[in-house]
Amino acid sequence: MNFTKSERLQKLPPYLFVELDRKKAEAVSRGVDVIDLGIGDPDMPTPRFIVDRMVQAVQNPAYHRYPSSQGMASFRAAAADWCAQRFGVSLDSETEVVASIGSKEAIANLPLAFIEPGDVVLVPTPGYPVYHIGTLFCGGETFYMPLLAENGFLPDLDSIPGDILRRARIMWLNYPNNPTAATAPDWFFPKVVQFAREHDIIICHDAAYSEMTYDGYKAPSFLETPGAMDVGIEFHSLSKTYNMTGWRIGFTVGNSEVIAALRQAKSNVDSGQFEAVQDAAIAALSSDQSCVEDMRRIYAERRDVLVKGLREIGLDAPSPAATFYVWCPVPKGYTSAEFCARVLEEAGIVTTPGNGFGDPGEGYFRMALTVSAQRMQEAVERLRKIL
């Protein structure tokens, strides 16, 4: 047998966290009480009322059959209502909304609908790896747009070369941003809409962190921007907002032609999400959103403990207005990898080296706010001892 892997698998970027995962497993096996600030996965359970709705829904035989790939009409209507209430964006739930099996699924499948070999996809770096991998799987070329601190972690659209722009079909954006925790200032999305029109580029905005915001900040939808519905779509996820990462449910909204193409592509790959999960998601989206407010309060408290502690130790930690990440420069004299390795070995704390998200992330490390405030205080104490 010849089990040679396809070029698309062989071309996958190396998994940069291999060494860190190995060191973490080693520390755990040595009996170290590891504090894991590595992965962006909420530690708190899904709110009770959503679980209760699922318990009910799973008993409905109507939900035991094949779902429709695009999502139940009632789920799409709930998603559209949520967008109207939250952002003032009005959507036709028939043509401008499609369900996803978590937004990762839609993000990975979207390029199937538009990308031919040789087409260029504009991808922010550091960033979520799936934007590049979806491109790679279609034989497209990724052009990386660096997100630099001096630009507020926004891509410098004016610096993208003309020959790239002529071949570019899609631009990925993600605000509030993982991993930098940056938010988009008011002027940015209007500029993006104009740029998309000028260069005929589909804007794909990943809004996974739209609800994870603090200190009164409300993240805008890209689709609120005048003209945005003509040029792009937005990916929403219930994963972070409702502590539902394990449930795999999200939705994509925006331009009806792009949504139709995504729906067509994905209907040939998957058969949609279990309708009981969609039903539970309706409960989440149509609730009074007080569970989201509770979540914000908890993360803000953890953030304050961490940021205050890091600053006392002499680290230059910004306090994020959104996401559940602190994106912090490493102390002088370390690479990201060296610093994260030392913090794990000597303090038993897992953090993520910034370069793991792309080269411009070198010099940073990322901490997720996924442990209790008390545990966060313990992390700070351990760091104080070693630094």
Ligand X SMILES: *Cc1c(COP(=O)(O)O)cnc(C)c1O
Residue numbers at the binding site for ligand X (CB under 6 A): 40, 102-104, 128, 174, 178, 206, 208, 237, 239-240, 245, 250
Residue nearer to ligand X on the CB measure, 38 or 348: 38
Which CB, 102 or 140, lies closer to ligand X?
102
CB of 102 to ligand X, least distance (A): 3
Q: How far is CA 10 from CA 14, 89, 127, 153, in A?
A: 10, 42, 21, 31
Q: Which is nearer to ligand X, 204 or 347 (CB)?
A: 204
Is-contact 265 110, C-beta < 8 A? Answer: yes
In 243-321, where does DSSP find H-type helix?
256-267, 275-285, 290-313
Nearer to ligand X, 176 or 348 (CB): 176
CB neighbour burial string for 300-326, b if at least 16 within 10 angstroms, e if fewer:
bebbebbbebbeeeebebbbbbbbbbb
User: For strand 202-206 and strand 250-254, is the pairing parallel, antiparallel, or unpaired?
Assistant: unpaired
Closest Cα to residue 365, out of 1, 2, 74, 17?
17
- Considering beta carbons, is residue 102 or 272 the nearer one to ligand X? 102
Burial track 111-133 (b if 16+ CB lie within 10 A, e otherwise): bbbbbeeebbbbbbbbbbbbbbb
CB of 250 to ligand X, least distance (A): 4
CA distance 252 to 205: 10
For ligand X, give the closer residue by CB, 106 or 157: 106
Query: Does residue 97 sit in helix, strand or coil?
Result: strand
Nearest approach, Cβ of residue 101 and ligand X (Å): 8
> Which residue, 208, 212, 240, is CA-closest to 222?
208
**Helix segments in the chain, DSSP class H:** 7-10, 18-29, 48-57, 73-87, 103-114, 130-137, 162-167, 188-199, 228-231, 256-267, 275-285, 290-313, 336-347, 373-386
Q: Of 147 and 208, which CB lies nearer to ligand X in the complex structure?
A: 208
Task: Give the sheet arrangement for strand 352-353, strand by strand.
Answer: 325-329, 364-368, 352-353
Choice between 106 and 317, CB closer to ligand X: 106
Q: What is the dihedral of CA 344, 348, 354, 355, to 10 degrees?
A: 30
How big is the chain, counted in residues?
A: 387
Cβ proximity to ligand X: between 209 and 339 the closer is: 209
